[in-house]
Structure 1
Amino acid sequence: EPADEEVAELLGPASRALAATGMRVHWPRELAAGTLTARAVIGPPDERDDGAKGASGRRDVSQAPSFLSADALLAFDWSFALGDRTLSRDELDRLAEAGRPLVRLRDQWVLIDPEEVRRARGTRDREVTPIDALSAVLTGTTEVDGRRVDVAATGWLERLRARIADPEAHQESAVAQPPALAASLRDYQLRGLDWLHSMTSLGLGGCLADDMGLGKTVTLIALHLHRQGVEEAAGPTLVVGPTSLMGNWQREIEKFAPGTPVRRFHGASRSLEGVQDGEFVLTTYGTMRLDAARLAGTSWGLVVADEAQHVKNPHSATARQLRTIGGRARVALTGTPVENNLSELWAILDWTTPGLLGRLGTFRTRYASAVEGGNDPAAAERLSALVRPFLLRRRKSDPGIAPELPPKTETDRAVSLTPEQTGLYEAVVRETLAEISGADGFARRGLVMKLLTALKQICNHPAQYLKEERPRIADRSGKVELLDELLDTILAEGASVLVFTQYVRMARLLEQHLAARGVRTQFLHGGTPVAGREAMVNSFQAGEAPVFLLSLKAAGTGLNLTRAGHVVHFDRWWNPAVEAQATDRAYRIGQTQPVQVHRLIAEGTVEDRIAGMLARKQGLADAVLGAGESALTELTDAELADLVELRGGTR
Structure 2
Amino acid sequence: MARRRVDRSGADRSSRNRSRRRQDDDGLIPVLAKAVREVEAAVERRQLTAGQRSRLQAVALLVREERARIQGDSSVPEARANNDRKRLDGVATILAQIVAREPSLFAELDGDVSETTQRLMREMRHAAGIAPAQDDEVATPATAPQPTERKAPPPPPSVRAAQLANPFLTPDFSRASAKVQGHLAGWELIGPILNAFEHPAPGAPACMALPEPRGTTAPKGLDLMAHQARLLAAASAGHRTFLLADEPGLGKTAQALLAAQVANAYPLLAVVPNVVKTNWAREAQQWTPGRSVTVIHGDGQTIDGFADIVVVNYEVLDRHVDWIGDHGFRGMVVDEAHYIKNKKSQRSQHVIEVSDRIRKRVSRPLLMALTGTPLVNDIDDFRAIWQFLGWIEERRPGDELTAALEKTGFTPADHAFYPAARSAVIDLGIVRRRKVDVAADIPARRIADLPVELEGAAGRSISQAEKQLAQRLVGRYQAALEHRRTGEVTDGIDHALVRLVAEREVAEGGDETTGDNVFTMVRKIGQAKAELAADYAAQLARSAGKVVFFAKHLDVMDTAAETFAKHDIRHTTIRGDQTSTARQKAIDAFVNDPDVGVIICSLTAAGVGINLQVASNVVLAELSWTNAEQTQAIDRVHRIGQTEPVTAWRIIAAQTIDARIAELIDTKAGLAGRALDGSDEEVVSSADIQVEALVSMLTNALATAPDAS
Bin for the TM-score computed over the shorter chain: 0.3 to 0.5
- Using CA pairs under 8 Å that are at least 6 residues apart, name the structure with larger relative contact order, 1 or 2: 2
Comparing both structures, which one devotes a greater share of its residues to helix? 2
Comparing both structures, which one devotes a greater share of its residues to strand? 1
TM-score, normalised to structure 1, is 0.39
Max Rg structure: 1
TM-score, normalised to structure 2, is 0.36
